[in-house]
Structure 1
Amino acid sequence: MTLYKFKIVVVGDYAVGKTTLIINYTEKTFRGMYIPTVGVQFTKNTFKLDGNEVELTIWDITGQEKFAKVRKTFYENAAGFIIVYDLTRKSTLENIINWYKDVLEITDNIPCVVIGNKNDLKSKREINTDNISKVIEKKKMNINVKFETSAKTGENVNQGFNSLIQQLINK
């Protein structure tokens, strides 16, 4: 069995559910109370995926604008990125290009997955499935893996994270 060690960074606007996604992925729980991330938090998790052992360090980077100048220092040595937007706030989809540009300043050839979170809030949804593909194509973003998730129900959370890990293993 091969041991893979990866640092992945989760970015996106404030209150899109980055921390909640990470908690759902690592602890299989949902915490309904919103507590903004200040600066950065990280979680370490070791598990098996497709016969491989994976030691994953997930860096949860604040989306608050006042931390923009220091954010990129936390990107160093990242193997991959997850860019999260909120399906109930159209502005967060429009901002994924800014997050992607931040990533490109570190390296232009790093695996990225885009996750639209809060899929469970159907009545509040502002973004349809075609919107994300159009934004990615229009902005010429080199991303071909995208998921709609619900950190509350767990829908597609594992698939989003595991698809990035699989890209890293296959790289």
Structure 2
Amino acid sequence: TIGVEVHPLDFHTNCGKIRFYCWDTAGQEKFGGLRDGYYIHGQCAIIMFDVTARLTYKNVPTWHRDLCRVCENIPIVLCGNKVDVKNRQVKAKQVTFHRKKNL
């Protein structure tokens, strides 16, 4: 992702249709200055990291800190991506950040 991509997702529930806007922000540091602007008015977040790239997991605390600074008290979920790939660099037992922050 370069910058941001916005994907509207529609869910049909017993309370009616809900539209969820998923903002896919760039994880690369060169786009870091833009992320805060994308977080404004966020109501929840999914922090994604790539289990085949250790650096993405090392960035999780920074992304979490920035989200908490801009969007106070929103629900945040931590999710590892590409778990089906064999050359995994981040093992499940190494993923501990969520325990420290109740994610």
1:131 equivalent in structure 2 = 94
1:99 paired to 2:63: yes
Q: How large is the Cα RMSD of the aligned pairs?
A: 1.5
1:82 is aligned to 46
Partner of 2:85: 121
Distance in 1, matches of 2:72 and 2:11, equals 29
Deviations 1:87-120 (A, max 9, x none): 1122221211111001011133110111100011
Q: Distance in 2 between matches of 1:66 and 1:81?
A: 21
TM-score by length of 1: 0.55
8 Å CA contact retained: 1:84, 1:116 = yes
Aligned to 1:167: none
Superposed counterparts of 1:18-97, under 5 Å: 37-49=1-13, 51-52=14-15, 53-97=17-61
Alignment partners' CA distance in 1, 2:2 and 2:89: 27
User: Taking CA–CA contacts closer than 8 Å with sequence separation of 6 or more, which of the two structures ends up with the larger relative contact order?
Assistant: 1
Check whether the contact 1:94–1:135 (CA below 8 A) recurs between aligned residues: no
Structure 1 ranges of 4+ moved more than 6 A: none
Output the amino acid matched with 1:111.
P
Deviation by residue 1:13-65 (Cα, 9 ceiling, x = unmatched): xxxxxxxxxxxxxxxxxxxxxxxx2211101122214x232111111111121
Structure 1: gaps of 5 or more residues: 1-36, 144-171
Q: What whole-Å deviation, never above 9, does each CA across 1:132-159 have from its counterpart, x for those lacking one?
A: 1x2333xx3231xxxxxxxxxxxxxxxx
